[in-house]
A and B are shown apart, each in its own frame.
Chain A
Amino acid sequence: MMRFLIHRASIAVLVALTVSIIGFALLRLSGDLAAALAGDTAKPEQIAQVAHLYGLDRPLYIQYLDWAGKALHGDLGRSLFDNKPVSQLIAERVGVTAQLSFMSLVYALVIAIPLGVLAATKPNSWIDRASLGLAVFGQAVPNFWFGLILIIVFGVTLRWLPISGSDHFSNFILPTITLGTSVIPAIMRVTRTGMLDALDSDYIRMARAKGLSTVSVLFKHALRNAILPVVSLTAVSLGFLLGGSVIVESVFALNGIGFLAFQSILRTDFPVVQSIVVFVSFAYIVLTLLSDVVNAYLDPRIRIG
């Protein structure tokens, strides 16, 4: 197992490095950063001064190493918009995004896994068709539109739930449903497929031959095998949720890092954008590595080798 994990970890490090370089390159894409900093009315000499001041006239790789070094110490630069430290801006808002992502994931798992199991145990029953229908819906509906419809129905017409703001728990209900519904289809499908495969397998036939109860066969034997790919998918979904929160946070005016990223893009506040991109990427990399660990632990074929 250690070999497997070390291998995965080294890939993760390599990917993280590449991502940081790309993230860094994003910033440079935005055009002349010095000109942006200096302002619209600056003259060329002033721009050059600003460039020198911020070290923007040095070779690119030096700038990258400088930035990376600072980033590792938690210094992500300052926002061009309000000059606050980027790390502070992120820290203030990451809680909201984390809460939204986490709640969305739980919501998705609680719905998708039981549905997937049920659908597999009764193929072609109404439950199977209904869950496939839900999957089709979740995949096809534009999530921002779904959010708006939810707002219209629950926030305005029925007045059950608030439609903006992020101080109260109930603020998160509609966004959770909106965001979570987009990951339900994949999780449900993988669970269902995994269960169908497991239930068809020889060891399940053996379990039945041993006279084990249906509950034992389903949950102890079949699900335990079917759940393995779901673990990886959960990690990937969480990463997706972190990235996809941009849209949902904007629709519901939730003050998370997704919304911050969006606003920063509009304001061409690229240090913030770059940092958020790198941050989200790193979170994804860490999550997939964690899921590798969990997978390795759950599957004795990997754990013992």
Chain B
Amino acid sequence: MRAAAAMGLVIAATVAAPWVIGEGVQRFLAEVFLMLAMAEMWNLLAGYAGLVSMGQQVFVGLGAYSLFFASMSLNVAPYWVLPLALLVCAGVAAVIALFLFRLREAYFAIGMWVFSEIVSLVVSKSEWLGGERGMGLRTARLVAARWLEPVTFWLSVAIAGGAVVGTYLLMKSRVGLGLMTVRDNDLAATSIGVDVWRNRFIAFVVSAAGTGLAGAVSFNATLYVAPGFAFDPNWVVAMMFIVLMGGIGTLEGPIVGTVIYFALREVVTVVFGLPGTWYLVGLGLVAMATMLYAPAGLWPMARDRFRVEWLSVRRRPSVRSGVAAVTWGRELRR
């Protein structure tokens, strides 16, 4: 009941927000929420499914390009073809998983990166997609100008919320349980019959779809897409740093990481007025320090220190399930 009330409040606040906050703030918040969504999707892969990918930018780009291409060839407002961006990314992920899942750990990570480079190079050579120059979103005129920012804002909140809640539900499901057992001990997991490949496949496809959706909305907001931006490895750099700093393998970690990521950016570039390169240097150093001294990330440290739990997917045996297990055991013995 309280959860439902809180949810309603959040939705009401989100819907009302564009009438209260300015367009600049909306744009900034949209960027924050989309980044959070991508980070949660990367976390689903790396933190739960044990698949570190350095090529997730391929889905950002594919999502953006599917949206632009579909919207302009069908001549409809870009928002209507968003589901298509999701489907394209899920489809591509399902196909390449068949091949790339043969690679393990670092090889998978860099194999994904090479895949992303291949797609990026092919797109740069495709004149029907604007080639290296990219293309503008002409169909944006089908949307009233004053609705552009608010709709992007709403979509980004919805996608970020969907990413967090979706990952939470997935991790509470059988698939999630399977993933976590594999992550913790793959030998034990396979010996009790967990289908490693299938669980990883589901996580990979879901993650690709979510990343693609966030990428599509992100480039829909800038009204312009080019291979250099869409398939920029800095997308995955950002996802990675957010997840690592916040706490890999926790749902709250990426939220904490996103806050730090943007706070650091604003402090370095706005308060100190330094160029973006120094911000990236700072990020790299923070990531290295995290890996060396707090490999679990900041959220797990804070959680253990202050004993708080929030979106934990940890399972506790309840009294009822304990009783059920005992009676079930008795039944078996009879």
Q: Tell whether A and B belong to one assembly.
A: no
A interface residues, Cβ below 8 angstroms from B: none
B interface residues, Cβ below 8 angstroms from A: none
